[in-house]
Structure 1
């Protein structure tokens, strides 16, 4: 592709987003128009659309950019589209006439109090008084969207929108009653200027240079020093011939011209030197550039492509190897946080619900970028009717529900639930309709039971792990139904969850095995015990204390139970152990497992890691020598573990209105870090003799153990017995406690 100067202009566009893209969605419109004459603070105008439609449109663009050795490689599942006809409106009350500027993506008619203006006006004056502004937009290629700005009138999430106004006119000319129409608050994402059109969205880019380049007989091997993502740029390209680019997350992959996963080919016919930027962004560390015929080039660089979102969370400790693990985990998250939370940057560059669910949790301890969570949830859900599980995977459907529950717990924002509760219902109805005669989930034709990449893992029959995830999803539905005042269904979901939990233990719990067994086949529980359902039941708090201790001993710390080799499920295994106070054990596991990847040359964390493999064996997966992703979102879980279970910070009521900090050193001499919240950070420092803490919002409870009576100047320390102490942490105040670990 010829050099595109426009690419550099994106960086300017996104410098503005760097500040705004982490802003939370505004609260739902309360239905009250602004009263002229009352104090007024002008709202920021932004582009608006039907909630979820831009996200679906953008996901379609992103997920269909995947190529495999130059071939188009689309997703495996059904893709929905945006609604093509949209009706926007806002009721206003003005004390004086007001001129508004109108910008629209699509064909449109602008109405005032039901009467349309001629043509497609870009500027109109709204008279004083009470009025309804209405814009109806049609667009097939892009999402129907509008941007309106006046002195007091501005498009934002308080505007209402529908894809079906159910309007008609009778023979007398009377307009129908449209009270049956369902209106939602408009969606938006900080496209805050008229020329920042949603249809023109692109990620930001910035130039980067390689750290080394080696020439050899018409070829050039370029090393960018670490895993990265973006557009390769060829400088000084000229001649008549062909240039082939072979990308590699490893040197071995880049040199394997016949089996590397991604490549580009450029036909050159240039009399004078010219720069060329590749059309599609790629993941790589190394690029092997082969020149044939008379083609030549001077040098190579790249345009690093990224979502401008700031890292708010941090972690440092007395253990430098652990610090390195945290840094690489954070970099892995940066690379996989793009238009949406994706799985891996080489393949698939798709939105997988199981991968994304872990990204949400890690995001809350690193970026706290709520729009990225909401966008990803919207894109995954798509539209009705539901014809298959999300990503065709049963467990991935349930992770979608869990993601909504966590979104509310960490942010306190009910907007997503209020807007998308009907889609939650229809997806849950799909699941409930697929239960068997015993009310259990069992794989049906078209269902993929994934759980984990594990050799020989049985997916037959009624798998306990799926029942457990359904139970948690039903609990989520009960909570969300209550938020939208759907009391009848709230009671139904609560009862269904209770019934499912009872079945989980009556069918799968084995006193002989001291654990939940893996499955039931033909009405009989199997003897097979796996880690999955057992570790989830620990941090879901489904076990009593006796069961927890039994599972820890007989499953989690039992080497005869099949081991987990993916960071994906190591995430949950280590969380379960942390939830039971095994931070010292988990710290060693993190250093061995993630540290093992670093020793094997990782610069971002992988999709799978088996310490028994050697050299290039690490890169193989899916029957391909370089099929494995060496930058996978689910590899970044130390961010979450260190923030929640070592710094010990988590919300105890939605949006950190109340929260706890229970720092656990786990063998470290000291640690410090920040955990982001909706409106501030919580800072924690802990050593073997001192704790310092400061909260940015809400009311916190610092909880810790001390072998001696702790002290602190001006600090009220409450003893809870058994060497346990608590301190109430008020927002904005810093506390310092002397104690003995």
Structure 2
């Protein structure tokens, strides 16, 4: 596969063998491209692999493409002359100090002194990318790129002094070798064996791989001539349903001698029903498991065995749905959905802390200007996109992506603001999908309070990001818009008698209907007064008369709101009941939807199809985030964990311990009712806890804050052991 792709590339430079020793001593370099272009191209490749019963099934929204012609440049001040090697994906030319060099040089000597190197690359099929490496020169994220240089030459031959070009810093990933071409990227694979194979009298096989998985099926000892059909199932029932299963693959076999054969596309399954026609036989079946090479840094263990299994299955669900991008589910869509991705970002910060996957997904979702619809066509998914960008900065401390995306943030926000109605509210217009959640009977009519709340948070995120890129006028504008909208939300939707935000406004009048969505978001957004928080907790979150949530997607936010209110003992019981309920039904990964009131085959059906439900959905993995942030109690207080807090809450557990990843290392926490043990690799932290008795920590003074509250400042790299008496 790699060799065939190499042959298709317009230009590949082969270094002389004599340079190998010199290269090892040279500066590390990486392939670079116009920011977002590779992510858009790669997401197009991935999202168009979806099939439905063998038919091509592309996304519902507009797909953008990469810029075919890109200019890269960097300025240097060299103490001595330096030889560099150049590689490019595409046709290219090279200019040194504005002078066009002959041909397409594979090597170049840059004289001592100040110089500018420009490389312009054209590639329609793949993303234009360059790789430059010398002793001190090397392509990286500091290079500047543009898709239009806006230069001209006058009649005398003089090149324009000013072009008006907008230059952005280059995009990159981990293609750190000259041979590691971005266009040739593939996920990794490894062999896996089936746990059980049942052979039937008609020659068919039912293969069970033991749990939800993803990859290619390998048929061993395949022989004969004729068709063979593979029916894939996340459940046994689905694999056996030749008329109802969601995915299948038909192979035409023409093999006079025994050989092995792989399915052509990777798929999700636990069971595979293999039905060769007469004249075709096979000896055995295995698979190639396909996966993204991410490292699991987060960890959680406790005194509760069921909770430990919930965490493990949540982590495995994330493993499966973390691919080139964070996707929704591995069986059906395999697309990049913003609402699903936003939750994956949060879980990622407590499991992998894999920033490149967050960045790739964010770029892929946004696409390019002009804006013609909401992200994924869904209004609320557009708002999650904005909120996720500032969250990423808060966790990572990296402004680069904010700077690269800020112009696209502005144009997308302009689109949103232009679609407000005459009263300044977001209301679904033609082409807008107001999603919120999968919930029977949920009204989307009128101006839904939930959408106004998300717009308000998006405007706040815009203001914060504007400050990061030194757009002070923009920061003032967005902050004022957010403040005005927040005041309107509470003036319009807050119902003092109900102690809650009502669901919508229709024909200019607030309705009496109360749902959980806006109310629970208003809690962890910090929009409610303490008195309003308690009202919402009692009148909405703990009120069985308010329609219940049946998707892990929104259960995530409901339980987060309760954790933010200090209800960890209640949330622990809910996690064990809800996610534990799926485990009791045999789940090996967590589902798209789970309603405990359903029975038998009802748990497999969705979208009017008997097996339409995804049994491995990213938004099912939220216990990772809840346990990391609200039980281990770790979160950043300033960007990149420069400062952070640890507020452990056992929530009824006898003990718990875990690791939370950060940009500069890990934070470890162990808690019992009598002892707290914490350590942070970097940054300045604070341990906050409640104790019934006066706590102690050897060699350190604990600060009493009153009412049994205590704080302990944490220095980097030092372990602290606190003796105390837990209050919960």
Using structure 1 for the length normalisation, give the TM-score.
Answer: 0.94
Equivalent position to 1:663, from 638, 648, 659: 648
Q: What secondary structure, in the 3-state scheme, does the structure 1 residue paired with 2:390 have? A: helix
2:161 to 177, 195, 220: 177
**How far, CA to CA, are the matches of 2:80 and 2:725 in structure 1?**
68
**Aligned counterpart, 1:433:** 418
Report matched runs for 1:604-623 at 5 Å.
Answer: 604-623=589-608
Does the CA contact (< 8 Å) of 2:54 and 2:247 recur in 1? yes
Deviations 1:631-677 (A, max 9, x none): 00000000000000000000011111111100000000000000000
Which one of 75, 80, 83 corresponds to residue 99 of structure 1?
A: 83
- The answer to whether the 8 A contact 2:374-2:381 is kept is yes
Q: Deviations over 1:174-214 (max 9, x none)?
A: 00123411111111001011110001011111111111111
Q: Which deviates more, 120-129 or 647-656? A: 120-129
Shift of 1:5: 10
Residue matched to 1:51 = 35
2:569 to 584, 604, 614: 584
- On the 8 A contact 2:26/2:134 being kept in 1, the answer is no
**Alpha-carbon distance in structure 2 between the residues aligned to 1:146 and 1:42:** 17
Provide the secondary structure at the position in 2 that maps to 1:365.
helix
Tell me the equivalent position of 2:348.
Answer: 363
Partner of 1:70: 54
Residue 443 of structure 2 is matched in structure 1 by 458
Tell me which of 48, 61, 66 is aligned to 2:45: 61
Judging changes above 3 Å, is the alpha-carbon distance between structure 1 residues 6 and 206 closer, same or farther for their aligned structure 2 residues?
farther
Count of residues in correspondence between the two structures: 705
Q: Does 1:82 align with 2:66?
A: yes
Cα deviation 1:524-560 (Å, max 9, x = unaligned): 1001000000000000010000000000000000000
Give the Cα separation in 1 of the matches to 2:161 and 2:242.
66
Give, in whole Å, the separation in 2 of the partners of 1:195 and 1:484. Answer: 35
SS of 2:452's equivalent? helix
Distance 2:717 2:659 in 1: 14
The reply to whether residue 194 of structure 1 matches residue 181 of structure 2 is no
2:238 and 2:3 map into 1 onto residues whose CA distance is 31
Q: Tell me how far 1:715 sits from its aligned partner.
A: 2.2
Contact 2:466 2:474 in 1 (8 A): yes
Partner deviation per Cα, 1:229-248 (whole Å, 9 max, x = no partner): 00111111111121110000
Give the stretch that moved more between structures: 124-133 or 516-525. Answer: 124-133
Unaligned ranges ≥5, structure 2: 5-24
Q: What is the CA deviation profile of residues 393-439 of structure 1, one whole-angstrom value per residue up to 9, with x for unaligned ones?
A: 00000000010010011011111111111100000000000000111
Distance 1:452 1:659, change over 3 A: same
C-alpha distance in 2, partners of 1:460/1:611? 28
Q: Does 2:213 correspond to 1:228? A: yes
Deviation string, structure 1 residues 678-711 (Cα, Å, up to 9, x no partner): 0110000000111000011111110111111111
Distance 1:291 1:540 in 2: 56
1:717-732 to structure 2, matched below 5 A, reads: 717-732=702-717
Q: Which residue of 1 aligns with 2:22?
A: none
What secondary structure is seen at the aligned counterpart in 2 of 1:293? coil
2:665 matched to 1:680?
Answer: yes
Say which SS state the counterpart of residue 377 (structure 1) adopts: helix
1 CA distance for matches of 2:296 and 2:590?
A: 18
Query: What residue number does 1:259 align with?
Result: 244
Q: Secondary structure at the match of 2:714?
A: strand
Q: Moved runs in structure 1, 4+ residues, more than 6 A?
A: 4-7
2:107 pairs, out of 105, 108, 123, with 123
Per-residue displacement from partner, 1:501-521 (whole Å, max 9, x unpaired)? Answer: 001000000011110000000
Taking the aligned partners of 2:77 and 2:643, their CA distance within structure 1 comes to 39
**Which residue pairs with 1:334 in the alignment?**
319
Of 275, 278, 286 in structure 1, the residue corresponding to residue 260 of structure 2 is 275
Aligned to 1:109: 93
For residues 191 and 665 of structure 1, what CA distance do their matches in structure 2 show?
A: 43
Equivalent residues in 2 for 1:335-414, closer than 5 Å: 335-414=320-399
What TM-score, normalized to structure 2? 0.96
Deviation at 1:42, TM superposition (A): 5.7
Contact 2:27–2:133 (8 Å) recurs in 1: no
Instruction: Choose the corresponding residue for 1:710, options 695, 699, 706.
Output: 695
Residue 163 (structure 1) aligns with: 147
Instruction: For residue 488 of structure 1, report the CA deviation from its aligned partner.
Output: 1.2
Alignment of 1:555-566 (within 5 A): 555-566=540-551
**Residues of 1 paired with 2:455 and 2:93: CA distance?**
46
Contact 1:110 1:121 in 2 (8 A): yes
Structure 2 residue matching 1:46: 3-state secondary structure: coil
Q: Report the 3-state secondary structure (helix = DSSP H, G, I; strand = E; otherwise coil) of the residue aligned with 1:725.
A: strand
Partner SS, residue 86 of structure 2: strand
Name the CA distance, whole Å, in 2 between partners of 1:736 and 1:423.
47
Q: 1:578-632 deviations in whole A, cap 9, x for unaligned?
A: 0000000000000000000000110000000011111221010000000000000
Q: What are the superposed Cα offsets for residues 308-330 of structure 1, whole Å, 9 maximum, x if unpaired?
A: 11100000000000000000000
**SS of residue in 1 equivalent to 2:150:** coil
For residues 139-166 of structure 1, what are the alpha-carbon distances to aligned partners after superposition, in whole Å with 9 as ceiling and x for unaligned?
Answer: 0000000001111111111111100100
Contact 1:88 1:134 in 2 (8 A): yes
Partner of 2:7: none
Note the C-alpha offset of 1:95.
2.3
Q: 2 CA distance for matches of 1:88 and 1:178?
A: 17
Does the CA-based 8 Å contact 1:165-1:178 persist in structure 2? no
1:518 to 503, 508, 511: 503
**Who is 2:14 aligned against?**
none
